[in-house]
Structure 1
Amino acid sequence: MATAAPKQLGITPPLSTALPTDAEKKATDALIEELTRENNFESRADTDKRTAVLASLQNITEEFVKRVCRKQNLPENYINNAGGRIFTYGSFRLGVYGPGSDIDTLVVVPKNVSREEYFEMFPDLLVEMAPKGAIEDLTPVPEAFVPIIKFEYSGISIDLIFARIDTLTQVPRTLTLKDDNLLTGLDDAGLRSVNGTRVTDDIMDLVPEKAVFRNALRGVKLWAQRRAIYANIMGFPGGVAWAMLVARVCQLYPQATASTIILKFFRIMEKWQWPQPVLLQQIKNGKLNVRVWNPRVYKADSFHLMPIITPSYPSMCATHNVTKSTKEIICRELARGGNIVDRIMMGKAPWKDLFEKHTFFTQNYKYYLSVISASTTKEAQLIWAGLVESKVRLLVTNLEGHESIALAHPFNKGFERVHKCSSEDEIESVKEGGHQYQIYEIPTVTTDPSHDPSLGIAVKDQNGGVPQPEPEKKETMVYTTTFYIGLELREGKCGTIILIVMCKLTAIWLWPSDMHSNYKLL
């Protein structure tokens, strides 16, 4: 009896429904072995720990809703049925998390619970109901682009966002977020919060073989991270965008194995006719008064260089930050990756070659710009560095418009350092990029590529678990974050003009001295 053809997923028919060959299966086995060597998979015990933490957060959420209802003097029957639910999104919900990954989590509550009550009551309830000492680094950030509570629960980093469903008086544990009508009445922050889970779920629903998709995505994510092209804030695709690209290739090759999906991913995306958008399904036009990505209606959408469009209503572009330079870098890396995977599939190279670290600092460029932000307190630096980080991509865009610059490549992370200075001259040296006063006992760390620049606003006392030395009398602690941009100059142009360009383009970044005791960006 003939096997039924797989159901078509995506906006076009598959390019091939061929079953994998023995060689392709062998290449996939080798891929899994390399991912295992790279510590890409979490142990069962650690995953069980995550499950227990999420179960605890579910109980805390239900208790939180009950307490709000009691505070509002609602009937006991209402209180007992109000509910509340925890959802996950991002890499955990996609099933591509690894050791040390955080859990992106969403609290959904009925219409009588406000965001203000969430930030007022939930943090204390976490400490009260979790095991003693389990909650650490608790940081509510109500002013963030997506309001969030960040903390560690039993050593697991949790990002907890909030959404109130204005059409529901009860939120049972069985609730799903697939119904577009649940978006009715949501403000922008609530819409962004709910769509994190909705997009993740739609991606999983739109791939033919979930296990194949996950293994291929693990390989692509590791490659993108090693090649330093994984950071939405710097103009590169973030985790959701890379997931959608892999999902689209899975739709085109619904019966392929993970190694073949990775090969086709490189070859298809290398030749993709941008700005033709990547879509997992046709864009839906709903009844709500919300903006849906449409370059024919919205001029800003027509400027997107590499549009990768979320499948959930209302559809948005996940890669609106891509610039001319970052697009060029992505395309170069896709070509490089494709050539390597060609050799891997022919048995002429191992998978580890694909995952070789970038050479941004060692051989890619002759000229570099460093953008240094500095403050005298860690709390102020969290705010200032986040603001500067959000401006680096704009600097790149301006540099691209200069006649002498062919390409401006932002590194995808900043470098955080701590210095101890005893004089104004030493402080000036640090502000100019000197490391001679750095405290090397406190290691240099990199910023999170998924960083929200507004996350530092509500921080009052956050040292990230790193013990801070007590400054001696007349000594000043200086906290710096440095961002780097590699430059390719046009033929015959000289690098000496770059400093002039830099000074003109960054003049507007100076932080108001009457608001914070920060040192200014150079």
Structure 2
Amino acid sequence: MASTNGYLGVTPPISTSESNPREKEVTVTLLEELRRQGIFESEEEAKMREIVLGRLAALIKKFVKRVSLARGLSESAANSAGGKIYTFGSYRLGVHGPGTDIDTLCVVPRHVTREDFFNVLEGMLREMEGVTEVSGVPEAFVPIIKTEISGIPIDLLFAQLSLAAIPDDLDLRDDNLLKNLDERCVRSLNGSRVINEILRLVPNVDVFRDALRCIKLWAQRRAIYSNVNGFLGGVAWAMLVARICQLYPNAVAGAIVSRFFIIMHRWSWPQPVLLKPIEDGPLQVRVWNPRLYPQDRNHRMPIITPAYPSMCATHNVMASTQQIMTEEFKRGSEIVDQVISGEVQWSALFAKHDFFFRYRFYLQVIASSPDLDTQNKWSGTVESKIRQLVMRLEFVDALKLAHPFIKGFDTVYYCLSEDETRAVARGEIPEAVANRKQEDIAGKEGATTMYTKSFFVGLSIKPKEAGATGPRKLDISYPTNEFIKMVRLWEKYDESQMNIAVRHIKHTALPDFVFDKGEREAAARPKKRSRTAKESPAPSAKRSRMESDTPARPDSESPLKRSTISSQGRQLSTPDSSMSFASMTEHPHTAQTSDAMDSLAVAASA
């Protein structure tokens, strides 16, 4: 689909030349590496996805009929009211992998409400055969029900159209469907509309898909694939890759990946990324316009959706996450240069992140509940607010960076007393509880199962200013207490069933569950100095910096003082309100360097 100027996009291509032989060679090795990485699903899983989507489509029709009858419609009107699902995201783009979720949109007629979606459909899903998880998050920016059916994870969005019935051949490209919809429905509806438009705006869909698979895997391995936590989500990454495809319409996938990193590392943000000119329309719906809307001017890395009404897909990006992504673009550019020159293999690009080795101090946010269904809703709500905590931390003077990790960690503990339950809720797990199994509490009075989910934020602290003497203070009590107050304002918050705690911990006190098996022990062993780029997954200059950033783990270390803020905002585990830590100046905490570090007082109580 070319523009009237004969090219796709808002500017002419940078080059229309075909890729050179070396770029074609590395494209072959790239696809081989992607297969080795196991990102393509099996035929059996592909068939199961089709079966699950068919069952879900039938359930949506049944749901609409049930609500229609409850609204007083006749049997025939209820039967013809319809209801339809549309896929979008990676599944619709054709770049999904094994175990990935299917982004799905539930489209319903005007008499079916969002309340019905969460109150009625959620219950119907729980009764559906093969469903192992159902969790609704109605307060999210885009309200969502997360579920798993026959092992296939589904993210289900909702859109209520101003139609009496939803026909099976409904085409969502019709802009008039957006009439009289609230913003949440427009956002939900645009998920499908945007994906369809992206696929129409790339010059070669196969090249686009191959390049996007590479970038998705890279972003996931480097822990920068998460819209909710302030990085980029799947749609934003797809639009970036699509834009590079427009600029090099005849390039192969390996060349597209190389240009992606070069251009994105040097992009002049907040200049927006556009796949086509922003269109005005006759409808009374908001279109991204920084000249008109002050909040649009605050978007740090605007990537604008191509379907009307155009929106910013990256409104969650913060100063910290932008800095992290910029560093990763640079790293990727250096590695791909070495891949093309033959110095390293593609596997170097996909090396696992070093988040849990990068910082000396972390915040651990723990959401917990004794009820699994409650915990799924509660932890989802807490996760949707982590970005707000990071934004507040960015205003702390002594902090250089607040780095949120892209996912939470689920754990289950079996407690025999209220004291143990409270300790688990604070994130302080007694050894007896950590080793206890479900059968150990069977039939015992007062026994409780505690479900927890932990989220982590790495804290990078500014270096001590030249000439400064004495201890510095990092007071994080205000942002952490404000965060706890905010999540407790959730309308469904139940103090008796939902716990929230924030504690700051040293890297040596990170729980074992955040590491792969053997990963922690391997990092503690002395490393041999790398001599050539080929021996390391990172370029030599970057490798040196990464080695200096990685804290060593001394064999003997004094016990770590901890401070925890509970949902009541009290100091729980230490009597004093501030604690002394060595400052983090992006150097390893070793015997040689620790003497040169100043002390850092960290306040974490109200």
TM-score class, shorter-chain normalisation, is: 0.7 to 0.9
Instruction: State whether residues 135 and 377 of structure 2, in contact with CA within 8 Å, keep that contact through their aligned partners in structure 1.
Output: no
Instruction: State whether residues 471 and 477 of structure 1, in contact with CA within 8 Å, keep that contact through their aligned partners in structure 2.
Output: no
Asked if 1:9 corresponds to 2:8, the answer is yes
Partner residue in 2 for 1:58 = 57
Deviation (angstroms), 1:469: 6.5
Partner residue in 2 for 1:134 = 130
Structure 2: tracts of 5 or more residues without a match: 502-564, 566-606
After superposition, the Cα gap between the structure-2 partners of 1:411 and 1:289, relative to the gap in structure 1 and judged at 3 Å, is same
The code of the aligned residue for 1:279 comes to L
After superposition, the Cα gap between the structure-2 partners of 1:222 and 1:183, relative to the gap in structure 1 and judged at 3 Å, is same
Give the one of 151, 159, 162 matched to 1:163: 159
Deviation (angstroms), 1:61: 3.8
| Aligned partner of residue 356 in structure 2, secondary structure | coil
Partner residue in 2 for 1:382 = 376
Among the aligned pairs, what percent are the same residue? 48
Deviation (angstroms), 1:235: 1.1
2: CA distance, partners of 1:377 / 1:28? 49
After superposition, the Cα gap between the structure-2 partners of 1:395 and 1:136, relative to the gap in structure 1 and judged at 3 Å, is closer
Give the one of 480, 489, 508 matched to 1:506: 480
2: CA distance, partners of 1:495 / 1:382? 45
The code of the aligned residue for 2:15 comes to S
2: CA distance, partners of 1:422 / 1:72? 48
Partner residue in 1 for 2:544 = none
1: CA distance, partners of 2:330 / 2:70? 60
2: CA distance, partners of 1:320 / 1:135? 33
Instruction: State whether residues 441 and 447 of structure 2, in contact with CA within 8 Å, keep that contact through their aligned partners in structure 1.
Output: no
Deviation (angstroms), 1:68: 5.4
| Aligned partner of residue 451 in structure 2, secondary structure | strand
2: CA distance, partners of 1:336 / 1:416? 31
Give the one of 496, 511, 518 matched to 1:516: 496
Asked if 1:108 corresponds to 2:107, the answer is yes
Partner residue in 2 for 1:242 = 237
1: CA distance, partners of 2:418 / 2:79? 62
Asked if 1:213 corresponds to 2:208, the answer is yes
Partner residue in 2 for 1:460 = none
**Matched length:** 489
Instruction: State whether residues 376 and 519 of structure 1, in contact with CA within 8 Å, keep that contact through their aligned partners in structure 2.
Output: no
Partner residue in 1 for 2:150 = 154
Partner residue in 1 for 2:534 = none
Partner residue in 1 for 2:388 = 394
| Aligned partner of residue 12 in structure 2, secondary structure | coil
Deviation (angstroms), 1:144: 5.1
CA deviation vs aligned residue, 1:311-356 (integer Å, no higher than 9, x gap): 1112111111111111111000000011001111122211111000
Of the two, which has the highest radius of gyration?
2
1: CA distance, partners of 2:445 / 2:26? 62
Deviation (angstroms), 1:376: 4.0
After superposition, the Cα gap between the structure-2 partners of 1:440 and 1:199, relative to the gap in structure 1 and judged at 3 Å, is farther
CA deviation vs aligned residue, 1:203-242 (integer Å, no higher than 9, x gap): 1111111111111111111111111111112211111111
CA deviation vs aligned residue, 1:242-275 (integer Å, no higher than 9, x gap): 1111111111111111111111110000000001
Instruction: State whether residues 232 and 321 of structure 1, in contact with CA within 8 Å, keep that contact through their aligned partners in structure 2.
Output: yes
2: CA distance, partners of 1:158 / 1:393? 23
Instruction: State whether residues 89 and 234 of structure 2, in contact with CA within 8 Å, keep that contact through their aligned partners in structure 1.
Output: yes
After superposition, the Cα gap between the structure-2 partners of 1:126 and 1:349, relative to the gap in structure 1 and judged at 3 Å, is same
Instruction: State whether residues 408 and 485 of structure 1, in contact with CA within 8 Å, keep that contact through their aligned partners in structure 2.
Output: yes
After superposition, the Cα gap between the structure-2 partners of 1:234 and 1:37, relative to the gap in structure 1 and judged at 3 Å, is same
Give the one of 403, 407, 431 matched to 1:409: 403
Q: Give the number of the structure with larger relative contact order, counting CA–CA contacts within 8 Å between residues 6 or more apart.
A: 1
Partner residue in 2 for 1:88 = 87
Deviation (angstroms), 1:476: 4.2
Instruction: State whether residues 102 and 153 of structure 2, in contact with CA within 8 Å, keep that contact through their aligned partners in structure 1.
Output: yes
The code of the aligned residue for 1:386 comes to G
Instruction: State whether residues 114 and 164 of structure 1, in contact with CA within 8 Å, keep that contact through their aligned partners in structure 2.
Output: yes
Partner residue in 2 for 1:36 = 35
Q: RMSD in angstroms over aligned alpha carbons?
A: 3.2
2: CA distance, partners of 1:386 / 1:344? 40
After superposition, the Cα gap between the structure-2 partners of 1:440 and 1:23, relative to the gap in structure 1 and judged at 3 Å, is farther
The code of the aligned residue for 1:259 comes to G
2: CA distance, partners of 1:233 / 1:468? 38
Deviation (angstroms), 1:403: 2.6
After superposition, the Cα gap between the structure-2 partners of 1:471 and 1:41, relative to the gap in structure 1 and judged at 3 Å, is farther
Q: When the two structures are superposed, what TM-score results if normalisation uses the length of structure 2?
A: 0.73
Partner residue in 2 for 1:369 = 363
Structure 1: tracts of 5 or more residues without a match: 443-465
CA deviation vs aligned residue, 1:267-301 (integer Å, no higher than 9, x gap): 00000000101111111122222221111111111
Q: When the two structures are superposed, what TM-score results if normalisation uses the length of structure 1?
A: 0.84
